[in-house]
Structure 1
Amino acid sequence: MSVSSPSDAESSPCPLPGPRDPGGKDTERGEEKVCAVCGDRATGYHFHVMTCEGCKGFFRRSVNKGVCFTCPLARSCPVTKANRRQCQACRLQKCLDAGMRKDMIMSEEALRRRWALRGQRRLARELPEGLTAEQQELIDILIAAHQRTFDSTFSQFTHYWPAVRLCIPSPRPRSPPQPGIPATWLPSSLPDCLDDVLPDVFSMLPHFADLSTFMIQQVINFAKEIPAFRSLPIDDQISLLKGATLEICEIQFNTVFNAETKAWECGQHCYTIQDGALAGFQQIYLEPLLKFHISLKKLQLHEAEYVLLQAMRLFSPGRDQGAAVAGGPLSSADARPAPPDHTSIAQRDFIDAFQEKVALTLKSYIDHWHPMPEGRFLYAKLLLLLTELQTLKAENMRQILHIQDLSTMTPLLSEIIS
Structure 2
Amino acid sequence: AECEDADEGAKVTDDGEPKACGVCGDLARGYHFNALTCEGCKSFFRRVVKRSTQLHCPLLNNCTITKKSRRSCQACRFRKCQAIGMRGEMVMSEEQILERRIRIQEKKMRAAASQLSPRQEEMIQELLLGHRSTFDPTFSHFRGFRSLDRNTHQIIKSVIEPFDLTTYMIQDIIRFSKSFQAFRSLSMGDQITLLKGATFEIMQIRFNMVFNSKANNWKCGSLTYCLGDAVRAGFQPLLLEPLLKLHQTLRKLDLQEEEYVLIQAMSLFSPDRPGVLQHSVVDRIQESLALTLKTWIDCKRTDPEKHLLFPKVIACFTEMRTMTEEYSKQILQIKDLQPDTISPLIMEVVSKDG
Q: TM-score range by the shorter chain?
A: 0.5 to 0.7
Q: Judge which range, 279-288 or 308-317, deviates more.
A: 279-288
Q: Aligned pairs, how many?
A: 238
1:171-207, Cα deviation, whole Å (9 max, x unpaired): xxxxxxxx568x5xxxxxxxxxxxxxx8xx9742111
Alpha-carbon deviation of 1:156?
Answer: 1.5
**Quick one: higher RCO (CA 8 Å, sep 6+), 1 or 2?**
2
Alpha-carbon deviation of 1:284?
Answer: 2.0
Match of 1:415 in 2: 348
Match of 1:248 in 2: 202
Match of 2:190 in 1: 236
1:303 to 257, 269, 272: 257
Runs of 4+ that moved beyond 6 A: 160-163
Alpha-carbon deviation of 1:161?
Answer: 8.3
SS at match of 1:159: coil
Structure ranking higher in strand proportion? 1
Question: Where does structure 2 lack aligned partners over 5 or more consecutive residues?
Answer: 1-111
Distance (whole Å) between structure 2 residues aligned to residue 211 and residue 416 of structure 1: 15
Q: Retained in 2: the 8 A contact 1:315–1:352?
A: yes
Using a 3 Å threshold, how does the CA distance of structure 1 residues 137 and 161 change in structure 2: closer, same or farther? same
Match of 1:149 in 2: 134
- Equivalent position amino acid for 1:409 in 2: I
- Equivalent position amino acid for 1:296 in 2: L
Structure ranking higher in helix proportion? 2
2:298 to 363, 367, 376: 367
Match of 1:139 in 2: 124
- Equivalent position amino acid for 1:415 in 2: E
**Root mean square deviation of aligned Cα:** 2.3
Alpha-carbon deviation of 1:263?
Answer: 1.2
Alpha-carbon deviation of 1:221?
Answer: 0.4
Question: Where does structure 1 lack aligned partners over 5 or more consecutive residues?
Answer: 1-126, 166-178, 184-197, 320-340
Using a 3 Å threshold, how does the CA distance of structure 1 residues 371 and 161 change in structure 2: closer, same or farther? closer
Normalized against structure 2, the TM-score is what?
A: 0.63
1:106-131, Cα deviation, whole Å (9 max, x unpaired): xxxxxxxxxxxxxxxxxxxxx96221
Distance (whole Å) between structure 2 residues aligned to residue 377 and residue 407 of structure 1: 45
SS at match of 1:350: helix
Using a 3 Å threshold, how does the CA distance of structure 1 residues 128 and 251 change in structure 2: closer, same or farther? farther
The answer to whether the aligner puts 1:346 opposite 2:277 as a matched pair is yes
Distance (whole Å) between structure 2 residues aligned to residue 295 and residue 408 of structure 1: 30
1:283-313, Cα deviation, whole Å (9 max, x unpaired): 2211211111111011000100000000000
Q: Retained in 1: the 8 A contact 2:194–2:269?
A: yes
SS at match of 1:377: helix
2:239 to 272, 281, 285: 285
Using a 3 Å threshold, how does the CA distance of structure 1 residues 154 and 162 change in structure 2: closer, same or farther? closer
Using a 3 Å threshold, how does the CA distance of structure 1 residues 380 and 407 change in structure 2: closer, same or farther? farther
Distance (whole Å) between structure 2 residues aligned to residue 395 and residue 156 of structure 1: 30
- Equivalent position amino acid for 2:252 in 1: K
SS at match of 1:204: helix
Alpha-carbon deviation of 1:372?
Answer: 5.4
Compare CA radii of gyration and give the structure with the larger one.
Answer: 1
Normalized against structure 1, the TM-score is what?
A: 0.54
The answer to whether the aligner puts 1:386 opposite 2:317 as a matched pair is yes
Distance (whole Å) between structure 1 residues aligned to residue 255 and residue 199 of structure 2: 20
Alpha-carbon deviation of 1:147?
Answer: 0.3
SS at match of 2:116: coil
Match of 1:227 in 2: 181
Using a 3 Å threshold, how does the CA distance of structure 1 residues 364 and 406 change in structure 2: closer, same or farther? farther
Q: Retained in 1: the 8 A contact 2:156–2:341?
A: no
Identity percentage over the alignment? 44
